[in-house]
Chain A
Amino acid sequence: MKPFAYDRPASPADAVAALAGGSAQARYLGGGTNLVDLMKLGVETPDLLVDVSRLSRDTIAPTPDGGLLIGAGVSNTELAADPAVRRRYPVLARAILSGASGQLRNQATIAGNLLQRTRCSYFQDVSKPCNKRRPGSGCPARAGHHRELAILGHSTACVATHPSDMAVAMTALDARVRLLGPRGERTIPLSELYRLPGDQPDRETRLEPGELITAVELPPLPAAASSEYRKVRDRASFAFALVSVAAVLEIADGRVRESRIALGGVAPVPWRASRAERALRGAPANEQSFARAAAAELDLARPLPDNAFKVTLAGNLLVQTLLELSLA
């Protein structure tokens, strides 16, 4: 690991100022479960770590509009265990509990979870080319190992997937992220935080240089009380998703009144399944409608030779999840 300076500012504003005083290599440190690992691997070589892990670590509070405000430094464990989250947004609690291990969830923060990097094996191996890590160096994944990688939203330059479970549930819930940067505060939809790789896979988010996530807001969504997160992986626990589904389903008189669906493990960003949602609107709440919705979304899929199974898997998992919710 390369030597680095360490600073632990007392407030988010001080943290933003401290990072702005560093080089382009300076990084915010949350729980460190991903960043410290990437530093050991040589993927990240910060010359300054600005420790924000003790800032806004206790905030889970109602918002004036009836939603929920979550401090960026809250641990994954605490958010999943929060009674309001478990009752009102079960999809989020289950998604968090499906990720990583008990130890990692205790350590990892909410903002760190959102900003964790892909686990594509080429990205994590500095001896290999990777357009995300070294722009223009190439992508060996297309012709190499890509079984776990993207079927949606990828580009010639990059087929990596976003690894988070939590972000998939938050995307389905239309979460918003509060940001503080050298140019002030702003709040953006989580879906706008992430960007598709295109020909610049090194640019993963729309964060301005030095911007810090200070909180996540969940809207008041009564329909989210009927929601679920399902995940398929290579082993029963402590593994990243091959495919996951976050779904909110509201049914009235046998028809779908509202649905919110996001897919994980299949794209460079948490994938909002807008086509599936449109196909479901007003449709009878039955298996045929769910299958049509899944097909509408996965029609967009462009799998690689070794991950074509994900198209079938995602379709089946989506139908099963919606069926489960419709029968609950």
Chain B
Amino acid sequence: MRGLRRLPLPLLRPPAHVELSLRINDEDHALLVDTRLTLLDLLRETLGLTGAKKGCDHGQCGACTILVNGHRINSCLALAVAHDGDVLVTVEGLADHGELDPLQSAFVDRDALQCGYCTPGQLCSAAGMLATEADRPSFVTGDLSGPPGPLDDDEIRERMSGNICRCGAYVNIVRAIADVAG
């Protein structure tokens, strides 16, 4: 074997795994996850909850929006390991025992979708926005010192700008959310 040089071992790092507990749509999960796994991939690939969608996978489209401890976030940019103990709600968890959430009903009534790919993200985003952010100003609120007042179309559009709809169903999405925002 003289003359043959020994090749260096490839510098591969072994995957690391971490134990994790999550409450997802009112169900407790004890999991062992690769540290690289995002919440989105955990939901879709490991748990079969395919409601949250992978659009851009870079936080630019909002199709992956879910609620974490009541707040809307992009699950594609959230590492699962960083969410130990958190409470998650996905679009599968919005309805209450088969009874549609008011936002879901409004989206049906207002025909607020075309292909439907962005809809789970739109619904979770609107749910989080109405539940935790409606009493706070947005970029388009004139006077930041007080509460924003009832959400008009401009406010809804600004607050929902993290959810892209390539079909362009925005007009009816705004109407549906306005129905529920009252």
- A→B interface (CB under 8 Å): 1-6, 8, 29, 32-33, 36-37, 40, 47, 49, 51, 53, 77, 80-81, 83, 86-87, 90, 93-94, 97-98, 100-104, 106-107, 236-238
Contacts and interface: CB of A to CB of B under 8 A. Distances in A.
10 contacts: A6-B35, A29-B79, A32-B79, A102-B125, A102-B128, A102-B161, A103-B72, A104-B77, A104-B162, A237-B139
Given A4-B35, A36-B78, A106 B73 contact: yes
A40 B57 CA distance: 9
Nearest to A239: B161
A107 B162 contact: no
B138 interface: yes
B82 interface: yes
Contact of A103 (B125, B137, B158): B125
Contact of B16 (A5, A32, A33, A107): A5
A36 B83 CA distance: 14
B77 A33 contact: yes
Interface centre among A37, A103, A104, A107 (most CB of B within 10 A): A103
B59 A33 contact: yes
> Which bucket holds chain B's interface residue count?
35 or more
Interface in B102-158: 125, 128-129, 133, 136-139, 144-145, 157-158
A-B CB proximity, top 5 nearest = A101-B162, A237-B161, A238-B161, A97-B139, A81-B136
B58 A6 contact: no
Contact of A107 (B14, B77, B157, B158): B77
A94 B139 contact: yes
Interface string B76-108: 011101101000000000000000000000000
Nearest to B121: A103
A36 B38 contact: yes
A40 B58 contact: yes
B133 A107 contact: no
Contacts of A33: 59, 74, 77
Interface of B: 13-16, 18, 34-36, 38, 57-59, 62, 65, 71-74, 77-79, 81-82, 84, 125, 128-129, 133, 136-139, 144-145, 157-163
A102 B35 contact: no
Contacts of A1: 36
Interface centre among A1, A2, A97 (most CB of B within 10 A): A97
A107 B57 contact: no
Contact of B62 (A49, A103, A237): A103
A117 to B, nearest CB: 14
Contacts of B72: 102-103, 106
Contacts of B77: 32-33, 36-37, 104, 107
B6 to A, nearest CB: 25
Given A1-B36, A51-B82, A90-B144, A102 B13 contact: no
Contact of B133 (A77, A86, A100): A77
B81 A103 contact: no
A106 B75 CA distance: 12
Contacts of B62: 101, 103
Contacts of A90: 144-145
A87 B74 contact: no
A287 B158 CA distance: 31
Nearest to A235: B161
Nearest to B74: A103
A33 B78 CA distance: 7
A57 to B, nearest CB: 12
Contacts of A3: 13-16, 34-36
Given A4-B16, A32-B77, A106-B72, A101 B161 contact: yes
Given A29-B79, A236-B158, 13 more contacts: A32-B77, A32-B78, A36-B77, A40-B57, A40-B58, A49-B79, A86-B144, A93-B137, A102-B128, A104-B162, A237-B139, A238-B161, A238-B162
